[in-house]
Amino acid sequence: LVGAPGAGKGTLCKMLAEEYGFRHISVGDLLRQIVLSPNADKKTVEYVRRAELLPTETLFSILKSQFGELNGGRTILLDGFPRRLDQAKSFEEVVSTSRFVLFFDCPEGLAEDRVVQRLAGREGDNLETFRKRFEEFSKLNPPILEYYKSKDKLVVVSLRLEDLPTLPDIGIGRHQRRFKYLVQETAVHDADQT
């Protein structure tokens, strides 16, 4: 799942995991856990503390360990990944092929409001970091979207106010059929693999 910082990726992933039985892996949560670990690699900690993107090899090492621990044959929602086009392409070759990619399309003002609301709740959330990450996201995300669109794997979930009947609905209702289809296809594909 890709989307700007503060777009509500974690909230959406939790809802989808509950509704459809997906596994939810949050890249941001994993990195925050690493920073708190006394055995953490110092270079990785510095990247995270500076709100910089990790080198692809480092990130893949972290993700591969999580895939082995959590998959159990279920579909995984990878929250907050990829952040760069090279990560998207390499992930498909090295780690796993994605069945679909959700883009949580959230305007900057709404994303900033969400970050402000959670400032007290999460280390590293502040307006300066948000603005740096949003700018980076705005530059790096369009090629990722084009890549997955060209593979017919992109599903856009709009959070733009003009597209929403009400804010709490988060725009997922109109994509319900697509999610159900993807879940059914996943089940058929997984059954074919056994």
What are the Cα distances from residue 95, in Å, to 57, 76, 118?
11, 12, 32
* Structure-token pair, residue 178: 């697509």
Q: What is the pLDDT of residue 194?
A: 35
37 found inside a domain: no
120 found inside a domain: yes
Are the beta carbons of 168 and 114 closer than 8 angstroms? no
33 found inside a domain: no
Q: How many domains does the chain divide into?
A: 1
Count, residues in the chain: 194
149 found inside a domain: yes
Burial zone of 158 (CB within 10 Å; 0-12 exposed, 13-18 middle, 19+ buried): middle
pLDDT tens, 52-88? 889 988 998 888 877 765 556 678 889 989 999 999 9
11 found inside a domain: yes
- Say whether pTM exceeds 0.95: no
pLDDT tens, 14-63? 888 888 888 899 998 899 888 898 988 899 999 988 888 899 889 988 88
Find the domain containing 97 and state its range.
Answer: 2-26+76-158
pLDDT tens, 112-134? 888 888 766 566 667 888 898 89
127 found inside a domain: yes
For residue 179, the Cα-to-chain-centroid distance in whole angstroms is 16
Identify which of 56, 94, 110 has the alpha carbon closest to the alpha carbon of residue 44. 56
Burial zone of 161 (CB within 10 Å; 0-12 exposed, 13-18 middle, 19+ buried): exposed
171 found inside a domain: no
> Coil, strand, or helix at residue 172?
coil
Task: Give the full edge-to-edge strand order of the sheet including 101-105.
Answer: 2-3, 101-105, 154-158
Could you tell me the CATH number of the domain that includes residue 109? 3.40.50.300
193 found inside a domain: no
Query: How far apart, in whole angstroms, are the C-alpha atoms of residue 145 and residue 48?
Result: 24
Are the beta carbons of 70 and 76 closer than 8 angstroms? yes
Query: How far apart, in whole angstroms, are the C-alpha atoms of residue 140 and residue 83?
Result: 7
